[in-house]
Amino acid sequence: MAEEQRSVLLESAAQFPVPHGVTLSYGTAGFRAEASKLSSTLFRAGIIAALRSLKTGCTVGLMITASHNPVGDNGVKIADPDGSMMAQSWEPFAEALANAETPECLVELVFQFVKEEGITFGGERPAEVLLGRDTRPTGEALLEVSKQGIKAIIGVVPLDMGIVTTPQLHWMVWRKNKGLNALELDYFMQLSESFRCLIEMVPEGITKQNFDLRLIVDGANGVGGMKLEQLKELLTGQEIQVRNACKQGLGVLNERVGADYVQKEKVAPCGFGPNDIGLRCASFDGDADRLVYFRISRVNINSVDLVDGDKILSLFALFIKEQLHMLNSGIKDLKNALPASLGIVQTAYANGASTDYLKQLGLEVVFTPTGVKYLHKKAAEYDIGIYFEANGHGTILFSEDFLSKLQEKKNYFAASSAGSDPLKACLRLLAVSSLINQAVGDAISGLLLVEAVLQYMGWTVQNWIELYHDLPSRQLKVKVADRTAVITTDAETQVLRPFGLQEAIDAETAKYDRARCFIRPSGTEDVIRVYAEASYQEAADSLAQSVSQHVDRFLGLQSLK
**Binding-site annotation, residues for Mg(2+):** 67, 285, 287, 289
Residue 399: partners with Cβ closer than 8 Å, 6 or more residues away:
380, 382, 383, 384
Amino acid residing at 488: T
Q: Are 138 and 71 in contact (CB under 8 A)?
A: no
Indicate the angle between helix axes 103-117 and 91-98, nearest 10 degrees. 160
Q: Is 460 exposed, middle or buried (0-12, 13-18, 19+ CB in 10 A)?
A: middle
Residue 104: partners with Cβ closer than 8 Å, 6 or more residues away:
10
C-alpha to C-alpha distance for 224 and 242, rounded to whole angstroms = 10
Q: Is 159 exposed, middle or buried (0-12, 13-18, 19+ CB in 10 A)?
A: middle
Residues annotated in the binding site, as ranges?
Answer: 67, 285, 287, 289, 389-391, 520-524, 529
* Residues assigned a catalytic role: 67
In degrees rounded to 5, what are phi and psi of residue 241?
-110, 125
Residues annotated in the binding site for substrate, as ranges?
Answer: 389-391, 520-524, 529
C-alpha to C-alpha distance for 509 and 462, rounded to whole angstroms = 32
C-alpha to C-alpha distance for 454 and 331, rounded to whole angstroms = 27
| Helices and strands: H and E segment counts in the chain | 19, 19
Q: Determine the straight-line distance between the first and last CA of the chain, rounded to whole angstroms.
A: 53
C-alpha to C-alpha distance for 145 and 160, rounded to whole angstroms = 12
